[in-house]
Structures are given as structure tokens and as C-alpha cells.
Chains A and B, each alone.
Chain A
Amino acid sequence: MSRRLRTCLFLAAAVVLAAFYAAACTGLPHFAGLVHPYGTRAVAAAFRQRTANVISSINFDQRAFDTLGEESILFAAVLGAIVLLRRARDEREAAPAPGRVMPSTRLFGTVMLPITLLTGFYIVAHGQLSPGGGFQGGVILATGLHLAYIAADYRALERIRPLASLDVADALAAGAFAALGFVGIAKGAAYLQNVLPLGTFGQLSSGGLVPVINAAVGVEVGSGIVVLIAHFIDQAVEIESPSTQDGQRPDDASGADGGNR
């Protein structure tokens, strides 16, 4: 199919889609309406479960089983990316040469690395109280670690990044989420039902199962993203494929890596 024909086909389809979508929008509840039956019930349920962050209560308590599926998607995607980015038989590893880093960048990285990691832990630990949780905090932890790569070089990053144990931590944390569901069954309730002591509303130890699952998800997301980024960086700086050995670098490798950093 030629580009021109494909564009024409798309435009025709887009006009139909736009017309039906616009017609459907007029049937939706009015924007900024005051009646949100599901939202009201979810807030009431979060108060019953003594979880101040309603979104965490929904994700890790009210629909924890859905989040188990979401977390499995993340795990499977990390696994898939690792398999896709493994070193092929005709590729070899090269030691990356350290680059020059500006002193101000080095200072910034050295100061910000511990602060960013602390923020990540805070966001994971306060998931049941304030905006944040396992997913958000895990991403902060994973990206904060890569300040070492920006401020120093690849070898400094490799020293503070125990890749083998992070691989194991990723799998263990993903399994821990599934295993935590059996706490409910052991107590005679449903799978992933929040049966732990609920604590006091607004306290760090409130929400029952929510902070525990948050911690598991935080470890899984944090280690999963670190492993993922590690394989992308390896493609850019360490692994040399036969085509790159002729002196020409594939321009997409740096682009793909830059988008993920």
C-alpha cells in the first residue's frame, strides 16, 4: 500500500471516527458534574479501611486483584525487554571509556543522589497517606540511581548497581504481591482481601495491607526499571554489534536510550 493511499484511507476512517466520537461525547455526563457515584463510594470505602490516600486504597485494597495483573504486565515487559536486548552471538562487549564530567555536574549528582533516593523511599513508605506509592516511588528510586551515571561515569554506576541481586529482587517482589493475597485466604477471607489490622486513620501504620503491598510494588518497580535501563544503556555503551565495529554507530540506539533515561 502506498503512503498516499494509506493516508487517504486513514483520513476517511478518522472522519468517521471523529463524527461518532463527537456524537458519543454529547451523551456523556456533563464535564465537572457533581454526581460521581463510584467516586463517592470509593471515598467512603477508603475511610472504612482507614486509608487517607483514596487512590492507594483503590489500587491496593479495593481493586488489588487488578493491580496484581498490572504489576504482572510490568514484570512481563521487563522480562521481554531483557530477552530482546540480550547480547547476541555476533556481538562483543567493550569497556566504555570514561568521559569528562564538568565539576558542577559532579557536585550536583553527588548532592542529589542521596536526596533523590531518600525521596523515593519516602514516597513508597507514605503511599497510604499522601500522593505517591509503590509505582511512583519505585520510578524515583530507579532514576535517582542513574544520577551516578550522569555525574560520574558508567563504572561508577556499575559499582552502586548490584544488577544480579536486583534481578532476583524484581522477581521476589513480584511474587511477594501474589503471595500476600494468601494472607486473606489464611484468615478465612477472600484472596487479597485487606484483613490486616487497619490502624489509625492518617498514621504511617494505617491501611492494613496497603503499605505492605506498596512496599512490594516499590521494590518490584524500582529494581525492574533499573534492570530495564541497564539493558538499554548496555546497548548504547557496552555492546558492539558487527555493524558498529566499522566505525558507524546506529543513530537509533542513542535515540532509544535517550528516551528512556
Chain B
Amino acid sequence: MIEDRTFKGRIFALVNYFLLTIIALITVLPFVHVVAGSFTTSAELAAKRFILIPTEWSFDAYRFIFSTNTIFKAMGVSVGVTLFGTLFSMLITSLMAYGLARRDLDGRKYIMFLVVFTMLFSGGLIPSFLVVKEMGLIDSYLALIIPSTISAFNLIILKNFFQNIPEGLEESAKIDGSSDFGILFRIVLPLSMPAIATLSLFYAVTYWNTYLNAIMYLNDSKMWPIQVLLRQIVVLASGMEFSSDLDATVPPPEQTVKMAVIVVATLPILCVYPFLQKHFAKGAMLGSIKG
């Protein structure tokens, strides 16, 4: 579209930019406030009404939360679950998506129906819990990964993406004697990098953010991932488990400590976000193509 150069058009554009700027600010200011608050002293946080840039820098909050290994351990659990979970999910999802994308697979329509139906109807919380329990996964990190291996939504996106790869490429590979596995790993996957990147991010975010599965399946607080610990510290504000591990002679600067834990739990996502962000638009568009 061409710029509207009438007076009314310019006023309209100006108001539009202004409103969007306000919306963007409202969205990010809470984060800025929390990050800034985590890097200052509690005295400054209490004295000032609004801090975006602290005048008095301090790492006390971080020194405090890293004075024991509680946070390190929880971060380690989350990183491990995220890495293994994402790899496992992507492997199983790609295999299934490729099979379903092949038009010569008998029964693919029925299988697709069974997949889509799980998006509309589910057995619910209790029966799912009982299944996981029967499999002996309670109090095992596998309980955070295996029950959420495949997202039907991600599977359908990937299947649609695979279907759009020209069939001729696969045909010629087959004539050259490639196996189905060979075609998937040597031809189809390398051609699908935008989709792989987007879906890996989706899975990784899900695993990093896992909370419900953790409180359902892990009874042992030593196994907690960072999200559960964060809730324990900030939302319950009890932090019993947490503060008992720490040196009781130093009273914690409470607000700043909460903020520091929030920052630590958010950091990994903020780190990968810029790299993967360029793929989003493409990834979401794939989702809108109907299967």
C-alpha cells in the first residue's frame, strides 16, 4: 500500500504509531522494572516509586540466591529436561510427520483422524495421571518428557510442511536406492530447517515452562525444575524449603530476591528468542495451511 498523504491520513498514522508505542511500552515495562529491581538494593527499591534504571547498582540479590546450590540444581533440571525433551520430541514428531506426509501410506487418513480427535476430546487429568502412575514414572524426570512427547498441533504443522516438498526429489532419491529413513534424514529434514527451528523452539519453551506435570508427578522437592521453585519463592512467598538452606544471619532483601529469581528463570528464553524469532512468522503461517 502507498502512504496516505492527506492531512487526515497523516493524523491517523500519527495516532496509530502513538497507540502502538504505548502498547509496546506497557508490554515490556513490567520486565524492565523487574530486571532493574533485581540489580538494586532493597533500600533503593523501597525509597523510589518507579525504577527503570537503578542509581545504586547492587548484586546482593544474585549473591543471595546463588549462595546455595538450590537454584543451580533447579536450573540444571530444567536445562536437562528441555534439551532431552526437545530432541526426543523432535525425533518422534519428525518420524511420524514424515510417514503421514507420504501419500502412498495406507491408512494415513484414519491415523490423522485419530490425531485430530485428541485435540477435540481428552480423557482429562485423573485418567492421564493414573496411566503415568501405572507406568511407574512417578518421581522420575521421564514423567516430564514422555507424557508430552508429541503435540498434535506441531505434528500437523510439520506434516503439512513435508507435504509441500516436491515429491520428485524423494522419487529420484528412491530410484538411487535411498531408504525411507535416508530420504527423511538426508533430503526432507535439511529442506525443512525453518519448520524444524520453529517447532524445536515451541517444544523447548513447553519443556522449559513445564509446571503442571512437575507438581503432579514429582513429589520430591529436590527434583523440582526452576518453574516450581520460582512459584514456591514468589507466589507462595513462603520459600520455606528455600530459605532454610540459606544463611539465616543475613535477612534477605525480599522484593529484590524475588525479582532476581524471576530474571534467572526468564534468561534462557530471552537468550534464544532473538535467534529464533525470524522463523516465527513462517512457522505460524505453516500452521494456517489446512491439512
The yes or no verdict on A and B being binding partners is no
Interface, chain A (partner B; CB < 8 A): none
Interface, chain B (partner A; CB < 8 A): none
